[in-house]
Protein backbone atom coordinates (compact mmCIF):
# COMPACT_ATOMS: atom_id res chain seq x y z
CA UNK A 1 0.00 0.00 0.00
CA UNK A 2 1.67 3.25 -1.01
CA UNK A 3 2.06 5.98 1.58
CA UNK A 4 -0.14 8.88 0.54
CA UNK A 5 1.44 12.21 -0.18
CA UNK A 6 0.14 15.26 1.71
CA UNK A 7 -3.07 16.96 0.60
CA UNK A 8 -2.58 19.85 3.02
CA UNK A 9 0.00 21.39 5.32
CA UNK A 10 0.13 19.83 8.76
CA UNK A 11 2.12 20.53 11.89
CA UNK A 12 4.01 17.41 12.85
CA UNK A 13 3.97 17.99 16.58
CA UNK A 14 3.98 14.24 17.27
CA UNK A 15 7.21 13.93 15.34
CA UNK A 16 8.73 16.79 17.30
CA UNK A 17 8.00 14.89 20.51
CA UNK A 18 9.60 11.79 19.02
CA UNK A 19 12.69 13.69 17.93
CA UNK A 20 13.34 14.65 21.53
CA UNK A 21 12.50 11.16 22.76
CA UNK A 22 14.23 8.95 20.23
CA UNK A 23 16.47 11.26 18.23
CA UNK A 24 14.54 10.23 15.15
CA UNK A 25 11.00 9.28 14.30
CA UNK A 26 9.19 8.36 11.17
CA UNK A 27 9.53 5.66 8.64
CA UNK A 28 13.20 5.97 9.21
CA UNK A 29 13.03 5.96 12.98
CA UNK A 30 15.83 4.42 14.90
CA UNK A 31 15.96 3.94 18.65
CA UNK A 32 18.64 6.58 18.90
CA UNK A 33 18.87 8.14 22.32
CA UNK A 34 22.40 9.44 22.87
CA UNK A 35 24.77 7.75 25.24
CA UNK A 36 28.23 8.58 26.41
CA UNK A 37 31.05 6.58 24.82
CA UNK A 38 30.86 3.05 26.28
CA UNK A 39 33.60 1.98 28.62
CA UNK A 40 36.29 -0.01 26.85
CA UNK A 41 37.22 -3.43 28.12
CA UNK A 42 40.82 -2.46 28.86
CA UNK A 43 43.39 0.31 28.61
CA UNK A 44 43.16 2.35 25.42
CA UNK A 45 46.07 2.29 23.00
CA UNK A 46 46.40 4.36 19.85
CA UNK A 47 45.82 2.66 16.53
CA UNK A 48 46.85 4.35 13.29
CA UNK A 49 45.52 3.47 9.84
CA UNK A 50 46.56 5.14 6.59
CA UNK A 51 43.69 6.16 4.29
CA UNK A 52 43.89 7.74 0.85
CA UNK A 53 43.36 11.16 2.45
CA UNK A 54 45.88 10.71 5.27
CA UNK A 55 46.48 8.70 8.45
CA UNK A 56 43.86 8.43 11.21
CA UNK A 57 44.37 7.58 14.85
CA UNK A 58 41.54 5.71 16.55
CA UNK A 59 40.97 3.80 19.78
CA UNK A 60 41.92 0.20 20.48
CA UNK A 61 40.22 -2.13 22.97
CA UNK A 62 41.00 -5.83 23.53
CA UNK A 63 38.26 -7.11 21.20
CA UNK A 64 37.72 -4.25 18.74
CA UNK A 65 39.02 -0.96 17.35
CA UNK A 66 37.00 2.15 16.50
CA UNK A 67 37.80 5.14 14.30
CA UNK A 68 35.33 8.02 14.56
CA UNK A 69 34.56 11.04 12.42
CA UNK A 70 36.55 10.22 9.27
CA UNK A 71 35.64 12.56 6.38
CA UNK A 72 34.52 10.63 3.30
CA UNK A 73 33.60 13.72 1.22
CA UNK A 74 34.37 17.42 1.11
CA UNK A 75 32.28 19.71 3.33
CA UNK A 76 29.02 20.39 1.37
CA UNK A 77 29.03 24.09 2.23
CA UNK A 78 28.93 27.38 0.32
CA UNK A 79 28.81 26.69 -3.44
CA UNK A 80 28.78 22.91 -2.70
CA UNK A 81 25.44 23.14 -0.86
CA UNK A 82 22.92 21.12 -2.92
CA UNK A 83 25.66 19.71 -5.11
CA UNK A 84 26.75 16.08 -5.44
CA UNK A 85 29.39 15.20 -2.85
CA UNK A 86 32.98 15.98 -3.83
CA UNK A 87 36.00 13.89 -2.78
CA UNK A 88 37.35 14.50 0.69
CA UNK A 89 40.36 16.78 1.03
CA UNK A 90 43.71 15.51 2.29
CA UNK A 91 44.62 16.54 5.80
CA UNK A 92 47.99 17.39 7.28
CA UNK A 93 49.38 15.16 9.99
CA UNK A 94 47.36 12.41 11.66
CA UNK A 95 43.60 12.87 12.05
CA UNK A 96 42.29 12.39 15.58
CA UNK A 97 39.57 9.75 15.12
CA UNK A 98 38.84 9.23 18.80
CA UNK A 99 35.56 11.18 18.85
CA UNK A 100 32.55 11.33 16.49
CA UNK A 101 32.19 14.26 14.16
CA UNK A 102 29.18 16.60 14.25
CA UNK A 103 25.79 15.34 13.24
CA UNK A 104 24.23 16.73 10.09
CA UNK A 105 21.93 19.75 10.40
CA UNK A 106 18.59 18.65 11.86
CA UNK A 107 15.91 19.64 14.31
CA UNK A 108 17.00 17.72 17.42
CA UNK A 109 16.35 19.41 20.73
CA UNK A 110 17.78 16.62 22.90
CA UNK A 111 21.27 16.39 21.44
CA UNK A 112 21.70 20.16 21.30
CA UNK A 113 20.81 20.39 24.98
CA UNK A 114 23.39 17.70 25.71
CA UNK A 115 26.05 19.69 23.89
CA UNK A 116 26.18 17.51 20.77
CA UNK A 117 26.71 19.88 17.86
CA UNK A 118 25.11 19.73 14.45
CA UNK A 119 26.94 21.17 11.48
CA UNK A 120 26.64 21.41 7.74
CA UNK A 121 30.17 19.99 7.55
CA UNK A 122 29.07 16.52 8.61
CA UNK A 123 29.97 13.99 5.90
CA UNK A 124 31.92 11.62 8.10
CA UNK A 125 31.82 7.96 8.98
CA UNK A 126 32.87 5.66 11.79
CA UNK A 127 34.71 2.36 11.37
CA UNK A 128 34.46 -0.45 13.92
CA UNK A 129 36.79 -3.40 13.36
CA UNK A 130 37.59 -6.63 15.17
CA UNK A 131 40.87 -6.66 17.04
CA UNK A 132 43.82 -7.81 14.99
CA UNK A 133 44.43 -10.89 17.12
CA UNK A 134 43.83 -13.22 14.17
CA UNK A 135 46.73 -11.80 12.20
CA UNK A 136 47.32 -8.62 10.27
CA UNK A 137 46.65 -10.24 6.90
CA UNK A 138 43.08 -11.33 7.72
CA UNK A 139 40.38 -9.47 5.77
CA UNK A 140 36.96 -9.23 7.40
CA UNK A 141 33.60 -8.84 5.66
CA UNK A 142 32.07 -5.38 5.93
CA UNK A 143 28.62 -4.07 6.86
CA UNK A 144 27.84 -0.44 5.95
CA UNK A 145 25.03 0.75 8.24
CA UNK A 146 22.68 3.54 7.06
CA UNK A 147 20.87 5.18 9.96
CA UNK A 148 17.13 5.83 10.17
CA UNK A 149 15.30 8.95 11.24
CA UNK A 150 12.81 9.70 8.45
CA UNK A 151 15.62 11.37 6.42
CA UNK A 152 15.21 14.34 8.78
CA UNK A 153 17.32 13.38 11.81
CA UNK A 154 19.65 10.77 13.26
CA UNK A 155 23.35 10.03 12.80
CA UNK A 156 25.75 7.15 12.42
CA UNK A 157 27.66 7.76 15.63
CA UNK A 158 24.94 6.51 17.99
CA UNK A 159 25.13 2.93 16.64
CA UNK A 160 27.87 1.55 18.88
CA UNK A 161 28.95 -1.55 16.99
CA UNK A 162 31.30 -3.22 19.46
CA UNK A 163 29.15 -6.40 19.59
CA UNK A 164 29.06 -6.92 15.83
CA UNK A 165 32.77 -6.17 15.52
CA UNK A 166 33.96 -8.01 18.62
CA UNK A 167 31.59 -11.00 18.66
CA UNK A 168 30.61 -11.14 15.01
CA UNK A 169 34.12 -10.37 13.73
CA UNK A 170 32.94 -8.11 10.95
CA UNK A 171 33.91 -4.55 10.09
CA UNK A 172 31.02 -2.11 10.62
CA UNK A 173 30.93 1.31 8.97
CA UNK A 174 28.26 3.78 10.18
CA UNK A 175 27.74 6.94 8.17
CA UNK A 176 26.27 10.43 8.27
CA UNK A 177 24.48 11.86 5.22
CA UNK A 178 22.71 15.14 4.52
CA UNK A 179 19.18 15.30 5.93
CA UNK A 180 15.96 17.23 5.44
CA UNK A 181 16.10 20.26 3.18
CA UNK A 182 19.89 20.14 2.88
CA UNK A 183 19.74 16.53 1.76
CA UNK A 184 16.63 16.35 -0.41
CA UNK A 185 15.36 19.78 -1.49
CA UNK A 186 14.20 19.40 -5.10
CA UNK A 187 13.92 23.06 -6.08
CA UNK A 188 14.14 23.41 -9.90
CA UNK A 189 16.57 26.34 -9.60
CA UNK A 190 19.21 24.09 -8.02
CA UNK A 191 20.05 22.15 -11.17
CA UNK A 192 18.96 20.62 -14.44
CA UNK A 193 15.75 18.55 -14.51
CA UNK A 194 16.46 15.13 -13.08
CA UNK A 195 19.58 16.29 -11.24
CA UNK A 196 17.92 17.92 -8.21
CA UNK A 197 17.17 16.38 -4.84
CA UNK A 198 18.68 13.12 -3.58
CA UNK A 199 21.87 14.76 -2.30
CA UNK A 200 21.65 12.65 0.84
CA UNK A 201 21.33 9.48 -1.25
CA UNK A 202 24.36 10.57 -3.29
CA UNK A 203 26.25 11.03 0.00
CA UNK A 204 25.54 7.41 0.85
CA UNK A 205 26.97 6.36 -2.51
CA UNK A 206 30.08 8.45 -1.86
CA UNK A 207 30.50 6.66 1.46
CA UNK A 208 30.25 3.30 -0.32
CA UNK A 209 32.96 4.39 -2.76
CA UNK A 210 35.12 5.42 0.20
CA UNK A 211 34.62 1.97 1.68
CA UNK A 212 35.60 0.35 -1.63
CA UNK A 213 38.81 2.41 -1.79
CA UNK A 214 39.87 2.48 1.87
CA UNK A 215 38.36 -0.30 3.94
CA UNK A 216 41.21 -2.70 3.15
CA UNK A 217 43.51 -0.57 5.29
CA UNK A 218 41.23 -1.24 8.28
CA UNK A 219 41.26 -5.00 7.74
CA UNK A 220 38.03 -5.06 5.73
CA UNK A 221 37.43 -6.90 2.47
CA UNK A 222 36.16 -4.47 -0.20
CA UNK A 223 34.83 -7.44 -2.18
CA UNK A 224 32.54 -8.46 0.69
CA UNK A 225 30.43 -5.38 1.48
CA UNK A 226 26.84 -5.65 2.72
CA UNK A 227 24.66 -2.53 2.86
CA UNK A 228 22.22 -2.46 5.76
CA UNK A 229 19.76 -0.09 7.40
CA UNK A 230 16.59 0.26 9.43
CA UNK A 231 13.50 2.31 8.54
CA UNK A 232 14.74 5.26 6.43
CA UNK A 233 18.05 3.43 6.35
CA UNK A 234 16.31 0.29 5.07
CA UNK A 235 14.42 2.40 2.55
CA UNK A 236 17.81 3.71 1.41
CA UNK A 237 18.98 0.11 0.94
CA UNK A 238 15.98 -0.50 -1.32
CA UNK A 239 16.98 2.58 -3.32
CA UNK A 240 20.54 1.32 -3.73
CA UNK A 241 19.23 -1.98 -5.07
CA UNK A 242 17.98 -0.08 -8.15
CA UNK A 243 20.14 3.09 -8.27
CA UNK A 244 22.64 3.04 -11.18
CA UNK A 245 25.35 4.78 -9.15
CA UNK A 246 25.24 2.07 -6.47
CA UNK A 247 25.88 -0.87 -8.79
CA UNK A 248 28.84 -3.08 -7.86
CA UNK A 249 29.44 -1.25 -4.57
CA UNK A 250 27.95 -4.09 -2.46
CA UNK A 251 27.35 -7.82 -2.69
CA UNK A 252 24.43 -8.27 -0.24
CA UNK A 253 21.73 -6.21 1.50
CA UNK A 254 19.88 -6.08 4.83
CA UNK A 255 16.50 -4.28 4.93
CA UNK A 256 14.92 -3.70 8.35
CA UNK A 257 11.41 -2.21 8.85
CA UNK A 258 11.55 -0.14 5.67
CA UNK A 259 8.66 1.68 3.91
CA UNK A 260 10.35 1.18 0.55
CA UNK A 261 7.29 2.54 -1.32
CA UNK A 262 7.48 6.01 0.25
CA UNK A 263 9.64 7.94 -2.23
CA UNK A 264 8.31 11.24 -3.56
CA UNK A 265 7.51 11.80 -7.22
CA UNK A 266 9.25 14.75 -8.97
CA UNK A 267 6.15 16.95 -9.31
CA UNK A 268 5.24 16.67 -5.63
CA UNK A 269 8.83 17.14 -4.49
CA UNK A 270 9.25 20.27 -6.61
CA UNK A 271 5.94 21.75 -5.47
CA UNK A 272 6.80 21.25 -1.80
CA UNK A 273 10.36 22.48 -2.36
CA UNK A 274 9.13 25.68 -4.03
CA UNK A 275 6.85 26.33 -1.08
CA UNK A 276 9.69 25.60 1.36
CA UNK A 277 12.00 28.06 -0.42
CA UNK A 278 9.32 30.75 -0.46
CA UNK A 279 8.82 30.41 3.28
CA UNK A 280 12.57 30.73 3.71
CA UNK A 281 12.48 34.04 1.85
CA UNK A 282 13.64 32.75 -1.54
CA UNK A 283 10.47 32.88 -3.64
CA UNK A 284 11.89 34.42 -6.85
CA UNK A 285 12.83 31.55 -9.25
CA UNK A 286 15.47 33.72 -10.93
CA UNK A 287 17.43 34.23 -7.72
CA UNK A 288 16.30 31.25 -5.65
CA UNK A 289 19.49 29.18 -5.99
CA UNK A 290 21.78 32.02 -4.87
CA UNK A 291 19.32 33.05 -2.18
CA UNK A 292 19.07 29.54 -0.74
CA UNK A 293 22.84 29.03 -0.76
CA UNK A 294 23.33 32.33 1.04
CA UNK A 295 21.03 31.39 3.92
CA UNK A 296 22.61 30.37 7.21
CA UNK A 297 22.24 26.67 7.89
CA UNK A 298 20.01 27.44 10.87
CA UNK A 299 17.41 28.83 8.45
CA UNK A 300 17.19 25.36 6.89
CA UNK A 301 16.49 23.43 10.08
CA UNK A 302 12.67 23.41 9.58
CA UNK A 303 11.78 20.02 8.22
CA UNK A 304 11.03 19.32 4.59
CA UNK A 305 8.07 16.88 4.54
CA UNK A 306 7.42 14.85 1.39
CA UNK A 307 5.31 11.90 2.60
CA UNK A 308 2.91 11.27 5.48
CA UNK A 309 1.26 8.35 7.20
CA UNK A 310 -1.94 9.93 8.45
CA UNK A 311 -1.43 12.28 11.39
CA UNK A 312 1.11 10.09 13.15
CA UNK A 313 4.24 10.18 11.06
CA UNK A 314 6.05 11.77 8.15
CA UNK A 315 9.34 11.76 6.30
CA UNK A 316 11.47 13.59 3.80
CA UNK A 317 13.70 11.56 1.50
CA UNK A 318 14.56 10.40 -1.99
CA UNK A 319 12.78 11.46 -5.17
CA UNK A 320 12.17 8.98 -7.99
CA UNK A 321 12.33 9.85 -11.68
CA UNK A 322 15.75 11.42 -11.23
CA UNK A 323 19.24 10.60 -12.47
CA UNK A 324 20.21 9.22 -9.06
CA UNK A 325 17.00 7.21 -8.62
CA UNK A 326 15.30 6.73 -11.99
CA UNK A 327 12.67 4.20 -10.84
CA UNK A 328 10.65 3.26 -7.77
CA UNK A 329 12.48 0.46 -5.99
CA UNK A 330 9.28 -1.45 -5.18
CA UNK A 331 8.22 -1.34 -8.83
CA UNK A 332 11.69 -2.33 -10.01
CA UNK A 333 11.85 -5.17 -7.49
CA UNK A 334 8.44 -6.43 -8.65
CA UNK A 335 9.66 -6.30 -12.26
CA UNK A 336 12.80 -8.26 -11.42
CA UNK A 337 15.18 -5.44 -12.32
CA UNK A 338 16.79 -4.86 -8.91
CA UNK A 339 20.33 -5.95 -8.08
CA UNK A 340 20.52 -9.73 -7.84
CA UNK A 341 22.19 -10.13 -4.48
CA UNK A 342 21.37 -12.07 -1.31
CA UNK A 343 18.92 -10.12 0.86
CA UNK A 344 17.98 -10.38 4.53
CA UNK A 345 14.66 -8.58 5.00
CA UNK A 346 12.22 -8.25 7.85
CA UNK A 347 9.83 -6.24 9.98
CA UNK A 348 8.74 -6.04 13.59
CA UNK A 349 5.51 -7.67 14.72
CA UNK A 350 3.95 -4.43 16.00
CA UNK A 351 5.64 -1.73 13.90
CA UNK A 352 3.11 1.09 14.31
CA UNK A 353 2.26 0.92 18.00
CA UNK A 354 5.10 3.34 18.72
CA UNK A 355 3.54 6.02 16.54
CA UNK A 356 0.09 5.44 17.98
CA UNK A 357 1.63 5.81 21.44
CA UNK A 358 3.31 9.08 20.47
CA UNK A 359 -0.01 10.35 19.14
CA UNK A 360 -1.63 9.46 22.46
CA UNK A 361 1.12 11.10 24.50
CA UNK A 362 0.94 14.27 22.44
CA UNK A 363 -2.84 14.67 22.32
CA UNK A 364 -3.83 13.01 25.60
CA UNK A 365 -5.92 10.43 23.78
CA UNK A 366 -5.58 7.81 21.10
CA UNK A 367 -7.45 7.63 17.84
CA UNK A 368 -11.11 8.17 18.73
CA UNK A 369 -13.77 5.94 17.25
CA UNK A 370 -15.34 8.80 15.30
CA UNK A 371 -11.91 9.72 13.87
CA UNK A 372 -10.96 6.21 12.83
CA UNK A 373 -12.65 6.12 9.39
CA UNK A 374 -11.14 9.49 8.49
CA UNK A 375 -7.65 8.47 9.63
CA UNK A 376 -7.80 5.32 7.51
CA UNK A 377 -9.09 7.27 4.52
CA UNK A 378 -6.26 9.76 4.94
CA UNK A 379 -3.69 6.95 4.82
CA UNK A 380 -5.28 4.50 2.39
CA UNK A 381 -7.51 6.71 0.25
CA UNK A 382 -10.38 4.93 -1.45
CA UNK A 383 -9.34 1.67 0.22
CA UNK A 384 -10.02 3.16 3.67
CA UNK A 385 -13.53 1.70 3.90
CA UNK A 386 -12.31 -1.79 3.09
CA UNK A 387 -9.52 -1.43 5.66
CA UNK A 388 -12.04 -0.27 8.29
CA UNK A 389 -14.16 -3.35 7.66
CA UNK A 390 -11.10 -5.59 7.90
CA UNK A 391 -9.66 -3.96 11.04
CA UNK A 392 -12.64 -3.08 13.27
CA UNK A 393 -11.81 -2.13 16.87
CA UNK A 394 -13.96 -5.04 18.04
CA UNK A 395 -11.21 -7.39 16.83
CA UNK A 396 -8.73 -5.60 19.11
CA UNK A 397 -10.61 -5.54 22.40
CA UNK A 398 -12.42 -2.37 21.39
CA UNK A 399 -9.14 -0.41 21.34
CA UNK A 400 -9.16 1.88 18.29
CA UNK A 401 -5.44 2.65 18.62
CA UNK A 402 -4.54 -1.03 18.45
CA UNK A 403 -6.79 -1.56 15.43
CA UNK A 404 -5.22 1.48 13.77
CA UNK A 405 -1.71 0.23 14.60
CA UNK A 406 -2.43 -3.24 13.22
CA UNK A 407 -3.81 -1.83 9.96
CA UNK A 408 -0.78 0.37 9.33
CA UNK A 409 1.68 -2.28 10.51
CA UNK A 410 0.24 -4.73 8.00
CA UNK A 411 -0.50 -2.39 5.10
CA UNK A 412 2.58 -0.16 5.19
CA UNK A 413 5.27 -2.45 6.59
CA UNK A 414 4.63 -6.20 6.84
CA UNK A 415 2.88 -6.91 3.56
CA UNK A 416 5.11 -4.59 1.55
CA UNK A 417 8.08 -6.56 2.94
CA UNK A 418 6.30 -9.82 2.11
CA UNK A 419 5.78 -8.79 -1.51
CA UNK A 420 9.35 -7.54 -1.84
CA UNK A 421 10.77 -10.72 -0.31
CA UNK A 422 8.77 -12.84 -2.72
CA UNK A 423 9.87 -10.80 -5.74
CA UNK A 424 13.52 -10.58 -4.73
CA UNK A 425 13.57 -14.32 -4.06
CA UNK A 426 12.91 -15.09 -7.71
CA UNK A 427 16.46 -14.12 -8.66
CA UNK A 428 18.60 -14.40 -5.51
CA UNK A 429 18.48 -15.94 -2.02
CA UNK A 430 16.19 -14.10 0.40
CA UNK A 431 16.06 -14.66 4.16
CA UNK A 432 13.02 -13.14 5.86
CA UNK A 433 12.49 -12.47 9.56
CA UNK A 434 9.96 -11.03 11.97
CA UNK A 435 11.23 -9.59 15.24
CA UNK A 436 8.59 -10.67 17.76
CA UNK A 437 9.62 -9.96 21.33
CA UNK A 438 6.30 -8.92 22.93
CA UNK A 439 8.18 -7.31 25.83
CA UNK A 440 10.99 -5.57 23.96
CA UNK A 441 12.38 -2.75 26.16
CA UNK A 442 11.09 0.68 25.10
CA UNK A 443 12.00 4.24 26.12
CA UNK A 444 10.48 5.26 29.44
CA UNK A 445 8.04 7.84 28.07
CA UNK A 446 6.48 5.34 25.66
CA UNK A 447 5.82 2.93 28.50
CA UNK A 448 3.07 5.31 29.69
CA UNK A 449 0.86 4.50 26.71
CA UNK A 450 -2.42 2.77 27.69
CA UNK A 451 -1.76 -0.19 25.39
CA UNK A 452 1.21 -2.53 24.97
CA UNK A 453 3.86 -1.57 22.42
CA UNK A 454 4.98 -5.13 21.80
CA UNK A 455 7.70 -5.46 19.17
CA UNK A 456 7.37 -1.95 17.79
CA UNK A 457 9.35 0.05 15.28
CA UNK A 458 13.11 0.30 15.99
CA UNK A 459 13.04 -1.79 19.18
CA UNK A 460 15.09 -4.58 17.57
CA UNK A 461 18.09 -2.24 17.26
CA UNK A 462 19.07 -2.68 20.91
CA UNK A 463 19.59 -6.37 20.17
CA UNK A 464 22.24 -5.58 17.53
CA UNK A 465 23.86 -2.34 18.71
CA UNK A 466 24.87 -0.98 22.09
CA UNK A 467 22.40 1.92 22.03
CA UNK A 468 20.60 3.41 24.98
CA UNK A 469 17.22 4.91 25.79
CA UNK A 470 15.53 1.89 27.37
CA UNK A 471 15.95 -0.62 30.21
CA UNK A 472 18.61 -3.32 29.76
CA UNK A 473 17.78 -6.64 28.17
CA UNK A 474 16.81 -9.48 30.50
CA UNK A 475 18.65 -12.83 30.30
CA UNK A 476 16.32 -14.36 27.67
CA UNK A 477 16.51 -11.20 25.58
CA UNK A 478 20.29 -11.26 25.91
CA UNK A 479 20.27 -14.76 24.43
CA UNK A 480 18.11 -13.48 21.54
CA UNK A 481 20.51 -10.57 21.07
CA UNK A 482 23.45 -12.97 20.81
CA UNK A 483 21.49 -15.04 18.28
CA UNK A 484 20.71 -12.02 16.16
CA UNK A 485 24.31 -10.80 16.22
CA UNK A 486 25.43 -14.24 15.01
CA UNK A 487 22.75 -14.36 12.28
CA UNK A 488 23.50 -10.86 11.01
CA UNK A 489 27.27 -11.37 11.12
CA UNK A 490 27.04 -14.71 9.35
CA UNK A 491 24.89 -13.17 6.61
CA UNK A 492 27.45 -10.39 6.14
CA UNK A 493 30.20 -13.03 6.03
CA UNK A 494 28.64 -15.59 3.69
CA UNK A 495 25.39 -14.19 2.24
CA UNK A 496 23.41 -16.65 4.39
CA UNK A 497 22.46 -16.40 8.09
CA UNK A 498 22.81 -20.16 8.61
CA UNK A 499 24.77 -20.50 11.84
CA UNK A 500 25.98 -23.62 13.63
CA UNK A 501 24.30 -24.19 16.96
CA UNK A 502 21.29 -21.95 16.21
CA UNK A 503 17.86 -22.67 14.71
CA UNK A 504 18.17 -23.26 10.97
CA UNK A 505 17.10 -20.34 8.78
CA UNK A 506 16.01 -21.48 5.31
CA UNK A 507 15.58 -19.29 2.26
CA UNK A 508 12.12 -17.80 2.14
CA UNK A 509 10.99 -19.45 -1.14
CA UNK A 510 7.79 -21.42 -1.46
CA UNK A 511 4.15 -20.81 -0.68
CA UNK A 512 3.64 -20.09 2.15
CA UNK A 513 6.93 -18.33 2.66
CA UNK A 514 9.25 -19.38 5.46
CA UNK A 515 10.05 -16.59 7.92
CA UNK A 516 12.33 -16.70 10.93
CA UNK A 517 10.42 -15.54 14.01
CA UNK A 518 12.98 -13.99 16.37
CA UNK A 519 11.70 -14.48 19.91
CA UNK A 520 13.26 -14.59 23.39
CA UNK A 521 11.33 -17.79 24.17
CA UNK A 522 12.96 -19.53 21.21
CA UNK A 523 13.40 -18.43 17.62
CA UNK A 524 11.71 -20.63 15.05
CA UNK A 525 10.71 -20.81 11.39
CA UNK A 526 7.06 -19.95 10.74
CA UNK A 527 4.93 -20.14 7.61
CA UNK A 528 2.07 -17.97 8.88
CA UNK A 529 3.54 -14.48 8.39
CA UNK A 530 1.43 -13.53 5.37
CA UNK A 531 -1.72 -14.96 6.94
CA UNK A 532 -1.24 -13.32 10.34
CA UNK A 533 -0.70 -9.91 8.71
CA UNK A 534 -3.61 -10.42 6.28
CA UNK A 535 -1.40 -9.97 3.22
CA UNK A 536 -3.85 -11.60 0.76
CA UNK A 537 -6.34 -8.86 1.72
CA UNK A 538 -3.77 -6.10 1.12
CA UNK A 539 -2.79 -7.63 -2.21
CA UNK A 540 -6.44 -7.47 -3.31
CA UNK A 541 -6.77 -3.69 -2.82
CA UNK A 542 -6.71 -1.27 -5.73
CA UNK A 543 -4.01 0.88 -4.17
CA UNK A 544 -1.54 -1.94 -3.47
CA UNK A 545 2.08 -1.25 -4.32
Residues designated catalytic: 231, 351, 457
Residue 65: its H or E element: strand 64-71
Q: Which residues of 321-345 are buried (b: 16+ CB within 10 A; e: fewer)?
A: bbbbbebbbbebbbeeebbebbbbb
CA 346 to chain CA centroid, Å, is 13
Measured distance CA(86)–CA(88) in Å, rounded: 6
Under 8 Å between Cβ of 224 and 138: no
Measured distance CA(196)–CA(487) in Å, rounded: 39
Measured distance CA(181)–CA(196) in Å, rounded: 12
Phi/psi class of residue 217: alpha, beta or left (left: φ > 0; alpha: ψ in -120 to 50)?
alpha
Under 8 Å between Cβ of 194 and 322: yes
For 26, 181, 195, 371, 417, the CA distances from 407, given in Å and listed in that order, are: 17, 31, 36, 15, 15
Cis before residue 351, ω within 30 degrees of 0?
no
Residue 47: its H or E element: strand 45-51
CA-based torsion, 339, 343, 349, 354: positive or negative: negative
Amino acid sequence: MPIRLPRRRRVRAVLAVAAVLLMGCGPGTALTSRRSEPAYAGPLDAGVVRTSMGPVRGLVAPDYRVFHGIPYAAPPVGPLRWQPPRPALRWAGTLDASKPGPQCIQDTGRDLKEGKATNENCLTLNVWTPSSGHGATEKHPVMVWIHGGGFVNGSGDIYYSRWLAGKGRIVVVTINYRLGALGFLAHPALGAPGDIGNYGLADQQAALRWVRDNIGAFGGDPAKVTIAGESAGGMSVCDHLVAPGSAKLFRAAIIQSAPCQAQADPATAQRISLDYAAKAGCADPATAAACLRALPATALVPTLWYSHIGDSDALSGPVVGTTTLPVSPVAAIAAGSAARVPVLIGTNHDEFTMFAALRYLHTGHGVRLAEYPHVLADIFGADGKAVLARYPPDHYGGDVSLAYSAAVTDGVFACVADRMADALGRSAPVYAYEFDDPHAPAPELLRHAPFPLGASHSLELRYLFNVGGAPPLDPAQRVLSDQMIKYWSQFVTTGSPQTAGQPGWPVMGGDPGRWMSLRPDGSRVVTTFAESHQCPFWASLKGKS
